[in-house]
Amino acid sequence: MIYPKIPLAQTVIALCKAKGIQHIVISPGSRNAPLTIGFTNDPYFKCYSIVDERCAAFFAMGIAQQIQKPTAVVCTSGSALLNYYPAVAEAFYSSIPLIVLSADRPKHLIGIGDGQTINQKNVFENHILYSANLKLDLKDEKNVPGNEELPIMKNIEDKIERFLGLQKDIQTHNEEEIDTAINFSIIKKGPIHINIPFDEPLYQTVEKPTVKPKATEPVVKPRSIENYTMQTCLDDWNLAAKKMILVGVNNPNEIDKKWLDDLANDNSVIVLTETTSNLYHHSFISSIDQLISPLTEDEEKQLQPDILITFGGLIVSKKIKTFLRKYQPKHHWHIDSKEAMDTFFCLSNHIEIEPNKFFESFLPKITHYVKSNYSSTWNAVKNKRQKRHAEYLEQIPFSDFMVFDKLLKSVPNNTVLQIGNSSAIRYAQLFNINKSIEVYCNRGTSGIDGSTSTAIGCAVANKKQTVFITGDLSFFYDSNALWNNYIPKNFRIIVVNNTGGGIFRILPGHKNTENFDTYFETNHTLTAKQLAAMYGFAYKSVSTEVTLENALKTFYMDGEEPKLLEIFTPKLVNDEVLLNYFEFLK
């Protein structure tokens, strides 16, 4: 087998292999050549070549999101690394294990005007679990072609490491840093950065490795609830007549059905789930905005919980955030083994354990059930809202609202559904979704910048069909995502094109002015047709209810190419239909 000659490159590759990091997303470059040579010549690794580093990082994140294991991205030195930042931030807030491997120049070539050099050390420090800054290997400079006249080095540390230091000490340092960094990603579930300096020559190879790095197993300590915390929670629970459970971003099948049934059967409990929570029960309330938006002040006071339990990732609904900040519970417990954000400014207890383990430990110990009509009252309201919802759909014109209703009903069973940010995920929140469908959205930072790339990474890693629903601005913003040779034939993209940032039309502000159209809504006349042709997608566009219904009949069927459906909706109608919806519910 072929290996890079540089020991540091061998070390990085060997430890990635030892840690089970199999998916490697490489962006072409020269400085990262030793890593590229090593990864692509080892059949253990599944390597992908993605030119655009921003797309590459989101693509890798989509893979990691599905396999729940670290995925690596590899880039050359300089600004290439900075293009990873949006995905690094998303992975940080979404707890997705992303391994960033950046090639770098030696220290003596940084800060002197050499090409493709920036200060790469700790560049992600505010949004990273661990930054490992490796040391350059020692070598005999006289025997390196092209280095007969070695430049004068200004950095004393560099001189010491390369001339007086011991390679063994450098090798030990590098092994320990790589090992520690990757273990952080595995245990704490998030992104880490390993910065790797390489000196020329970069392309030399050997047939046998010259180093044998040692890896340590990541140790995940079992967590449990302290007796005092458990008893305090039970005491508070037994006294509360109004308990609300709010679930944010959550992976499928993380909570046992038994505990969901127990919660559903407690009349003092209501469970509010978001589209991204992947939790389903007939008594749970899944359309939160539909429930809350029409409430009067007296009804809001009645809904105010005594205890709020939250788990999962970030919350989409602005209405529930506003409500719980105004009508705060007496107790707010957040259940998460990693962190707890004080979203509603009343966090009283961070229970550091996996949610399923919490319910497994907690619910069987409940012996007293408070008499309450909290659940029955609000489920009755939910049923009324759903009836009004159905009535409203019967009378509205073709619009974004109607389109999302038809799309979400059309998605086949057992599909993976990726939803773009901004208006797309907010519309999805208003509709019930088939419980066999797994739903994902980049809600860590809630940005539109990498939704398509993430969806494609998801499609590559998942055997199920992946369907991606997105708005036009998000799609065009991330159009380089389609520059990808790994897109499965069964991948489907649906672009809801309302010729601008439709979400801004439903926010406060002066609409239909030149300033609004240009700087907020961003009017455009773009279409995905040419992009689809360039990247090999079967393309179809529709702009009416009938043509949409006809297109959806065959859209999900097998074909020789991935498919893209572009739906044009009337921007001057969409905001009126949505705003009138909440009035109609009242």
Low-confidence ranges of the chain (pLDDT < 70): 139-166, 501-521
- The DSSP-derived string for 423-443 is HHHHHHTTS---TTSEEE---
CB 274 within 8 A of CB 343: no
Q: How many CB atoms sit inside 10 A of residue 391's CB?
A: 11
CB 47 within 8 A of CB 231: no
Start-to-end CA span in the chain (Å): 70
Whether residue 178 is contained in a domain is answered as yes
The CA distance from 523 to 277, in Å, is: 33
The CA distance from 269 to 238, in Å, is: 12
Sheet holding 23-26, edge to edge: 46-49, 23-26, 71-75, 98-104, 192-197, 130-133
Whether residue 221 is contained in a domain is answered as no
CATH no. for residue 432? 3.40.50.970
The CA distance from 495 to 476, in Å, is: 10
Question: Are 250 and 101 found together in one domain?
Answer: no
CA distances from 175 to 38, 172, 203 (A): 17, 5, 22
Question: Are 351 and 428 found together in one domain?
Answer: no
CB 572 within 8 A of CB 523: no
Question: 3-class DSSP state for residue 416?
Answer: strand
Q: What does the pLDDT read at residue 166?
A: 63
The CA distance from 109 to 152, in Å, is: 10
Residue where a domain terminates, one of 325, 350, 381: 381
Whether residue 57 is contained in a domain is answered as yes
- Single out the residue of 420, 190, 417 nearest to residue 313, CA to CA: 190
Answering whether pTM is above 0.75, one says yes
Q: What does the pLDDT read at residue 146?
A: 40
Question: Are 102 and 30 found together in one domain?
Answer: yes
Q: What does the pLDDT read at residue 496?
A: 97
Question: Are 326 and 296 found together in one domain?
Answer: yes
The CA distance from 223 to 229, in Å, is: 13
Angle formed at CA 191 by CA 440 and CA 93, multiple of 5 degrees: 50
CB 316 within 8 A of CB 277: no
Question: Are 452 and 475 found together in one domain?
Answer: yes
CATH no. for residue 260? 3.40.50.1220
The enclosing H or E element of 24 equals strand 23-26
Alpha carbons within 13 A on the beta-carbon side of 525 = 0
Question: Are 320 and 428 found together in one domain?
Answer: no
The CA distance from 78 to 80, in Å, is: 5
Question: Are 232 and 98 found together in one domain?
Answer: no
Whether residue 220 is contained in a domain is answered as no
Give the 3-state secondary structure of 331-362.
Answer: EEEEECCCCCCCCCCCCCEEECCCHHHHHHHH
Span 388-441, pLDDT tens digits: 999 999 999 999 999 999 999 999 999 999 999 989 999 999 999 999 999 999
For residue 294, say if its preceding peptide bond is cis, omega within 30 degrees of 0. Answer: no
The CA distance from 25 to 29, in Å, is: 13
Whether residue 211 is contained in a domain is answered as no
The CA distance from 127 to 22, in Å, is: 24
Question: Are 339 and 442 found together in one domain?
Answer: no
CB 365 within 8 A of CB 230: yes
Question: Are 557 and 420 found together in one domain?
Answer: yes
Give the 3-state secondary structure of 247-268.
Answer: ECCCCCCCCCHHHHHHHHCCCC
Whether residue 212 is contained in a domain is answered as no
- The DSSP-derived string for 64-76 is HHHH-S-EEEEE-
The enclosing H or E element of 374 equals helix 374-393
User: How many domains, in total, are found in the chain?
Assistant: 3
Q: DSSP letter at 412?
A: P
Residue 274 — φ and ψ, nearest 5°? -95, 165
Q: Please name the residue that has the structure tokens 């994140």.
A: 61
CA distances from 32 to 16, 210, 337, 391 (A): 16, 19, 36, 59
Residue where a domain terminates, one of 324, 357, 381: 381
Which are the contacts of 490, defined by CB distance < 8 A and separation ≥ 6? 459, 465, 466, 558, 562
Q: Phi/psi zone of residue 20: left (φ > 0), alpha (ψ -120 to 50 degrees), beta?
A: left
Question: Are 53 and 189 found together in one domain?
Answer: yes
Question: Are 14 and 122 found together in one domain?
Answer: yes
Per DSSP, which regions of 138-268 are E strands? 192-197, 205-206, 243-247
Residue where a domain terminates, one of 381, 411, 438: 381
Structural domain harbouring 555: 396-585
* CA 83 to centroid of chain Cα atoms: 16
Whether residue 64 is contained in a domain is answered as yes
CA distances from 579 to 2, 290, 355, 492, 512 (A): 62, 12, 36, 30, 16
CB 483 within 8 A of CB 511: no
Question: Are 45 and 22 found together in one domain?
Answer: yes
Whether residue 502 is contained in a domain is answered as yes
